[in-house]
């Protein structure tokens, strides 16, 4: 064997460079797992390879990919992790906008390459990358970087895991500083622990890391690293230790809860036949949200599957039939596409939520839409009753924290339960002495398309349902009764009174951010093609009004149908259709452009109050 290579198995080699470069060989062709400096090209003839078809990357760091340009010149395609794609093909934009001064984002995206790398294939979590007879399973490996992956493949009768910089021989971490995501935290420890825990379920025979020696005893190495991580978490942030467990809690015999440290609560209803129904399915713990200092503008939320092994092995669940989201927000819905793709789980929801979940780009002016569309398999009407296994449910449209929200009620283990999402929580109230009391509060977020009438519906539904137990979207489940319902109603009445006192008349108009909304909010239009917009308008005034709209588009775009008008009675809604045409020769570098609608109410201009984003796609 040539000195430059280490032969691991008959068709698998290691080349030492700025990172370990692994080569899978089939005849005179090969693929690389990471590329290093690209120096491997000078020695391929030593192992009988004449061409590299692909470079498959575990993560974006420049010690892994600074040789990609050489390999592209020789005809290789570049395949990169889905959630780090922008750090390859849009990395120049990343550096142009990367915050330098007053920076509290400590993630090691500073180790990104400097020049865009053309990407030919995207490696999606839990999918398969196929080359010749080899199938590489893409396993999320968040830890060393936020978007990194591991690759699992059968090669020469052995299960091989290409683990990037997730784990180092001897149960150690490569670059301890990579665990620091936000200023002064070590949240990467939580992600790494979750990733190596999932890796352990794959039971690889060998782990091939990007740096250091081949890991010949993966089980022992993972066990050592898990133990050390737990000790450090216990020492530095003991309140986060529970995040390492992924433990389900029994509320009653047939009702399970993901636990207080899950990012957003999810619940499992078990049937006597061994099936399960989920209410919500979001992140394992809150740090996965990345909504603070450690978030880059180009990123989208990444979901990592959790709690399922325990559900199937310890609770004997044979099949998850369906998941019902309480509302549209990403922290409650981001796991649903995974359930649909990999476990054939159906999604059922109230009709008022369906269009947002199915087409999030269209509605993404509303906050917290998850970027992946969710297929809706069953739609319910407001107040509809339905049966699953031995349980009877009733679902209500209950707009509160967001316009697109529901409450699901059922009797489980002789207790009347309401799954209330993010509508109702318990809040401490001031009392004399050491005794602390809590009252139920009703939440609202104005950008969630809040309208004053929404909370009245919340009050009506909760007084009608009168559950004995509330299973909220966050915090622990709590007991509820008629007195709590009265306190909840009183809270809503007081809040509405204060909102009205603070608002000019009509208060409904000045509290309603989305009285005018352009759909779709995001669209990609082929050059020379038309894009239709629907302007949704609500009349919050006490009498009929005429609404007139003028579409304002970038100068490169052509206005096809740029105006319209509609007369609406008090409290009613309507829509105006307008159309623009994309330029045939779009300017280079255009990513998103702003389209607005100027709206007149009874002839008085309100300005360009509604907006949408358009992007031109070449022919």
- pLDDT single digits (tens) 487-533: 999 999 999 999 999 999 999 999 999 999 999 999 999 999 999 99
Beta carbons of 9 and 156 less than 8 angstroms apart: yes
Question: May I ask the CATH architecture of the domain 5-239?
Answer: 4-Layer Sandwich (3.60)
Give 396-446 as a DSSP string.
EE--SSSSSBEEEEEEETTEEEEEEETSEEEEEE--SSS--EEEEEE---G
Predicted model pTM:
0.94
The tens digit of pLDDT for each residue in 355-409 reads 999 999 999 999 999 999 999 999 999 999 999 999 999 999 999 999 999 999 9
Q: Which residues have a Cβ under 8 Å from the Cβ of 133 and sit 6 or more positions away?
A: 26
**pLDDT, position 590:** 61
The tens digit of pLDDT for each residue in 222-253 reads 999 999 999 999 999 999 999 999 999 999 99
Q: Is the pLDDT of residue 1 over 50?
A: no
Do the domains 249-502 and 5-239 match in fold? yes
**pLDDT, position 437:** 74
Q: Which fold does the domain 249-502 belong to in CATH?
A: Metallo-beta-lactamase; Chain A (3.60.15)
User: What SS3 state is found at 526?
Assistant: strand
φ/ψ (deg, to 5) at 354: -60, -45
**pLDDT, position 588:** 57
User: What SS3 state is found at 200?
Assistant: helix
Average pLDDT over residues 408-412: 98
**pLDDT, position 434:** 54
Tally of CA atoms within 13 A in the half-sphere of 137 that contains its CB: 14
**pLDDT, position 98:** 87
Q: Which fold does the domain 516-617 belong to in CATH?
A: Immunoglobulin-like (2.60.40)
Determine the length of the chain. 619
In the chain, where the domains are located: 5-239, 249-502, 516-617
Tally of CA atoms within 13 A in the half-sphere of 167 that contains its CB: 37
Tokens found for residue 318: 């044979």
**pLDDT, position 476:** 94
Give 153-164 as a DSSP string.
EEETTEEEEEEE
Distance CA(448)–CA(605), nearest Å, equals: 25
Tokens found for residue 558: 């052509």
Q: Using CB atoms within 10 A of its CB, is residue 314 exposed (0-12), middle (13-18) or buried (19+)?
A: exposed
Average pLDDT over residues 16-30: 98
Mean pLDDT of the chain: 94
Q: Is the pLDDT of residue 587 over 70?
A: no
Percent helix, strand, coil in the chain, to 5, is 25, 35, 40
Cβ neighbours of 313 (radius 10 Å): 9
**pLDDT, position 296:** 82
Q: Which residues have a Cβ under 8 Å from the Cβ of 240 and sit 6 or more positions away?
A: 190, 233, 261, 285
Tokens found for residue 368: 């917290």
Buried b (16+ CB within 10 A) or exposed e, 148-179: bbbbbbebeeeebbbbbbbbbbebebbeeebb
Q: Which residues have a Cβ under 8 Å from the Cβ of 38 and sit 6 or more positions away?
A: 66, 67, 68, 69, 70, 71
**pLDDT, position 430:** 53
* 534 alpha-carbon distance from chain centroid: 27
The tens digit of pLDDT for each residue in 413-468 reads 999 999 999 999 998 765 555 556 788 999 999 999 999 989 999 999 999 999 99
Beta carbons of 512 and 451 less than 8 angstroms apart: yes
């Amino acid at each position: 064997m040539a000195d430059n290579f280490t032969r691991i198995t008959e068709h698998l080699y290691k080349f030492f460079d700025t990172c370990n470069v692994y080569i899978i060989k089939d005849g005179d062709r090969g693929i690389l797992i990471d590329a290093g400096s690209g120096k491997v090209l000078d020695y391929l003839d030593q192992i009988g390879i004449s061409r590299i078809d692909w470079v498959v990357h575990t993560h974006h760091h420049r010690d892994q990919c600074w040789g990609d340009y050489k390999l592209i010149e020789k005809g290789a395609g570049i395949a990169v992790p889905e959630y780090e794609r922008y750090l390859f093909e849009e990395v120049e934009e990343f550096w142009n906008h990367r915050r330098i001064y007053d920076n509290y984002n400590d993630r090691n995206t500073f180790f990104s390459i400097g020049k865009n790398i053309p990407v030919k294939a995207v490696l999606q979590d839990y999918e398969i990358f196929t080359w010749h007879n080899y199938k590489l399973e893409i396993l999320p490996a968040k830890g060393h970087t936020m978007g990194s992956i591991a690759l699992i493949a059968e090669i020469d009768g052995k299960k091989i895991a290409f683990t990037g910089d997730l784990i180092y021989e001897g149960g150690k971490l490569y670059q301890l500083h990579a665990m620091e995501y936000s200023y002064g935290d070590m949240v990467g420890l939580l992600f790494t622990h979750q990733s190596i825990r999932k890796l352990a379920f794959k039971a690889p025979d060998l782990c091939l890391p990007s740096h250091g020696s081949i890991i010949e005893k993966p089980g022992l190495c993972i066990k050592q690293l898990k133990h050390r991580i737990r000790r450090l978490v216990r020492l530095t942030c003991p309140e986060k230790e529970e995040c390492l467990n992924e433990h389900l809690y029994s509320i009653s015999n047939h009702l399970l809860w993901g636990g207080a440290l899950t990012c957003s609560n999810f619940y499992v209803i078990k049937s006597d036949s061994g099936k399960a129904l989920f209410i919500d399915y979001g992140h394992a713990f809150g740090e996965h949200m990345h909504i603070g200092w450690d978030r880059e503008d180009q990123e989208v939320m990444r979901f990592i599957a959790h709690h399922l092994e325990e559900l199937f092995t310890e609770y004997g669940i044979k099949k998850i039939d369906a998941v019902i989201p309480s509302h549209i927000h990403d922290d409650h819905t981001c796991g649903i596409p995974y359930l649909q793709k990999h476990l054939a789980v159906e999604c059922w929801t109230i009709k008022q939520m369906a269009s947002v979940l199915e087409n999030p780009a269209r509605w993404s002016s509303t906050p917290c839409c998850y970027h992946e569309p969710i297929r809706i398999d069953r739609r319910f009407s407001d107040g509809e009753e339905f049966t699953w296994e031995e349980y009877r449910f009733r679902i209500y449209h209950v707009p509160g924290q967001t316009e697109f929200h529901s409450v699901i009620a059922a009797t489980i283990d002789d207790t009347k339960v309401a799954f209330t999402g993010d509508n109702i929580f318990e809040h401490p109230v001031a009392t004399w002495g050491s005794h602390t009391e809590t009252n139920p509060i009703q939440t609202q977020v104005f950008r969630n398309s809040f309208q004053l009438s929404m909370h009245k519906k919340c009050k009506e539904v909760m007084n009608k349902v009168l559950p004995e137990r509330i299973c909220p979207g966050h915090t622990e489940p709590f007991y509820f009764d008629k007195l709590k319902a009265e306190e909840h109603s009183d809270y809503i009445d007081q809040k509405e009174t204060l909102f009205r006192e603070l608002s000019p008349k009509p208060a409904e108009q000045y509290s309603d951010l989305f009285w005018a909304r352009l759909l779709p909010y995001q669209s990609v239009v082929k050059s020379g093609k038309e894009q239709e917009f629907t302007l949704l308008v609500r009349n919050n005034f006490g009498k009929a009004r005429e609404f007139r709209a003028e579409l304002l588009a970038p100068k490169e775009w052509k206005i096809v149908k740029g105006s319209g008008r509609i007369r609406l009675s008090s409290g009613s809604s309507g829509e105006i259709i307008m159309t623009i045409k994309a330029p045939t020769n779009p300017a280079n570098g255009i990513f998103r452009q702003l389209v607005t609608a100027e709206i007149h109410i009874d002839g008085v201009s309100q300005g360009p109050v509604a907006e949408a984003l358009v992007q031109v796609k070449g022919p």
